[in-house]
Chains A and B, each alone.
Chain A
């Protein structure tokens, strides 16, 4: 393990990924606020408590949690392995051997064209590795590199 660990060049997720996450969080929060206003009478205690709760959660996740998650998310592609490090309170590092990758799936959303963001899922025997909100060009490069590895190993 020590042979390949020091040579890694870690990469971050693009800034647009954070904007997308923040946008989705804002939409979700607004949806909850609207639902609260529809279900409960505005000005009632339950309505006020729920609105304050959503606001606090929005601030916590939008200002603190998501930027930190984004900042701590790392991945790297070495000659032999693929690594993902994530987690804020409980950090987790996952390594997958490149020649063990069976196939790669790419998940495109309606924002892929505009924000140039996509998600990758690496599938190996008995394991999967998800890379959410990656740069589209880099994702395509990784996809090609991994498929090529699989082909070389198989033939």
Chain B
């Protein structure tokens, strides 16, 4: 097959971060050019701007070199790529080894009919995809089709799961956090000052000050804190919502296809054999409403900043079980065989109780010494204690939730991480290492932590805390291999 090149827009894409820095000098040069062409003093114009033109030409030449030196072709068995002119790197990705192929349709590429294509495998760099290119739309769709053709029988029935928009909004609501929003906000403000100058940014900040003074009944420091948290969370929520709306997942043979996004649409094709684990997530709040969201661990899907590895945004226990049986029957969810003993309850509750007590001591002593800031300190104390009490409730629940179950083909895991309640299913062949560790304090209560290391491009570790050490030693099957029929430790 003929060697192909990426879309010429790739030259601008590669150089855009450098050209953005030169945007103002370029605009000034162009403005000066228009003025000098009117007066006819072209030589004097060239004398003043030759350096800017040279730098821009150099950046564009480097971009052109990057574009020219990268060629690729797609064949019946895989994708072959070549990078470099003098030092050439040639590599071939067989379709069997490709875990996921994704196409992103950014709205700003629509007039050029260009899309971004990425193909990733379980090997190579964790930061970048093994094959990434900006190409004409029909080529990307051809590659996506070719990559799933060996694993997808077109005669077979295609199962669809399309969640309603309320479920997506709920998922976006729960998965949004202030840190991500703050990053987007900081990046936008810094870009804004680059484009429109410092004056407008300063005026924006003054408006923010006026807004803070509007809430007179709350101390200014607390108002600023709340506004920042709520504002940045809002940005993160909108970003999540727009990237997840019109979500659709379908399964045909061994291929899972996911589509999502409203302005920038994404299409991802995943080989089910390369999925390393299925995880169901809940928070304490969604647990009260019996809502779950399902996600998958697969190289190349939802591992970059601003992306998520969602499979089902939000559904009831019954709904999620029924749809998972249709979409991923290879990942059964079993019940716990191993659970923490009652004596280990203190190990779950001790950290949040200590935090609550420490905060009480800290703010109590601060009130004694800083009487003038009484209102602010009390408000901050309340703000700090709310998540601590929430953490205590959550840890209480974690004690009853944590555990391990052994199925014929997969391990069922029940664990907690951060403020999330998680359940998962890991096929035995995807577990690369199991570590059982006991700290000095855990020796007293005869418990231990069990770590599961998963197969994949990057290191992924799952920690099941405070299980009974003797039970783990007796029941944990070594080596972890799929068993024919029923597993000896599988509950009836």
Seen from chain A, the residues whose Cβ lies within 8 Å of a Cβ on chain B are: 101-110, 112, 123-128, 143, 147, 150-151, 153-155
Q: Is the CB of B89 within 8 A of A109?
A: no
Q: Distance in Å from the Cβ of A148 to the closest Cβ of chain B?
A: 9
Q: Which of B89, B90, B94 contacts A154 (CB 8 A)?
A: B94
Q: Is the CB of B90 within 8 A of A155?
A: no
Whether B88 is near chain A, meaning CB under 8 Å from some CB there, is yes
Whether B141 is near chain A, meaning CB under 8 Å from some CB there, is no
How many Å lie between the Cα of A103 and that of B122 in the bound state?
Answer: 10
How many Å lie between the Cα of A107 and that of B122 in the bound state?
Answer: 21
Q: Is the CB of A153 within 8 A of B96?
A: yes
Whether B228 is near chain A, meaning CB under 8 Å from some CB there, is no
How many Å lie between the Cα of A127 and that of B89 in the bound state?
Answer: 18
The residues of B that contact A155 with a CB separation of less than 8 Å are 96, 150
Q: Distance in Å from the Cβ of B275 to the closest Cβ of chain A?
A: 14
Whether B173 is near chain A, meaning CB under 8 Å from some CB there, is no
The residues of A that contact B306 with a CB separation of less than 8 Å are none
The residues of A that contact B150 with a CB separation of less than 8 Å are 155
5 more CB-based (< 8 A) A-B contacts, given A123-B123, A125-B456: A103-B92, A105-B90, A105-B91, A126-B457, A143-B92
Q: Is the CB of A126 within 8 A of B459?
A: yes
Interface residues in B76-93 by Cβ distance below 8 A to A read: 77-78, 86-93
Whether B70 is near chain A, meaning CB under 8 Å from some CB there, is no
Q: Is the CB of A151 within 8 A of B86?
A: no
How many Å lie between the Cα of A88 and that of B95 in the bound state?
Answer: 39
0/1 interface trace, chain B 108-130, chain A, CB 8 Å (1 if under):
00000000000001111000001
Q: Which residue of B lies closest to A107 (CB)?
A: B89
How many Å lie between the Cα of A126 and that of B432 in the bound state?
Answer: 11
How many Å lie between the Cα of A107 and that of B81 in the bound state?
Answer: 12
Q: Is the CB of B96 within 8 A of A124?
A: no
The residues of B that contact A127 with a CB separation of less than 8 Å are 123
Given A126-B457, A147-B94, A151-B94, also A107-B123 (CB < 8 A): no
Q: Tally chain B residues at the interface, Cβ within 8 Å.
A: 24
How many Å lie between the Cα of A30 and that of B106 in the bound state?
Answer: 51
Seen from chain B, the residues whose Cβ lies within 8 Å of a Cβ on chain A are: 77-78, 86-97, 121-124, 130, 150, 455-457, 459
How many Å lie between the Cα of A71 and that of B219 in the bound state?
Answer: 76
The residues of A that contact B121 with a CB separation of less than 8 Å are 102-103, 123
The residues of B that contact A153 with a CB separation of less than 8 Å are 96
How many Å lie between the Cα of A101 and that of B122 in the bound state?
Answer: 10
Q: Is the CB of B91 within 8 A of A108?
A: no
The residues of A that contact B94 with a CB separation of less than 8 Å are 103, 147, 150-151, 154
Q: Distance in Å from the Cβ of A143 to the closest Cβ of chain B?
A: 8
Interface-central residue, B96, B130, B459, by most chain A CB under 10 Å: B96
The residues of B that contact A143 with a CB separation of less than 8 Å are 92
Q: Is the CB of A147 within 8 A of B92?
A: yes
Q: Which residue of B lies closest to A108 (CB)?
A: B88
How many Å lie between the Cα of A124 and that of B122 in the bound state?
Answer: 7
Q: Is the CB of B86 within 8 A of A104?
A: no
The residues of B that contact A102 with a CB separation of less than 8 Å are 97, 121-124
How many Å lie between the Cα of A123 and that of B92 in the bound state?
Answer: 11
How many Å lie between the Cα of A154 and that of B401 in the bound state?
Answer: 37
Q: Is the CB of A106 within 8 A of B96?
A: no
Q: Is the CB of A108 within 8 A of B97?
A: no
Q: Is the CB of B77 within 8 A of A151?
A: yes
How many Å lie between the Cα of A23 and that of B97 in the bound state?
Answer: 38
Q: Is the CB of A125 within 8 A of B96?
A: no
The residues of B that contact A108 with a CB separation of less than 8 Å are 87-90
The residues of A that contact B124 with a CB separation of less than 8 Å are 102-103, 123
How many Å lie between the Cα of A109 and that of B85 in the bound state?
Answer: 9
The residues of B that contact A126 with a CB separation of less than 8 Å are 123, 456-457, 459
How many Å lie between the Cα of A68 and that of B150 in the bound state?
Answer: 48
Q: Is the CB of A154 within 8 A of B97?
A: yes
A-B contact pairs, 25 of them (CB 8 A): A102-B121, A103-B93, A103-B94, A103-B123, A103-B124, A103-B130, A105-B90, A106-B89, A107-B87, A107-B89, A107-B90, A108-B87, A108-B88, A108-B89, A108-B90, A109-B86, A110-B87, A123-B123, A125-B455, A126-B456, A126-B459, A127-B123, A151-B94, A151-B96, A155-B96
Q: Distance in Å from the Cβ of B73 to the closest Cβ of chain A?
A: 15
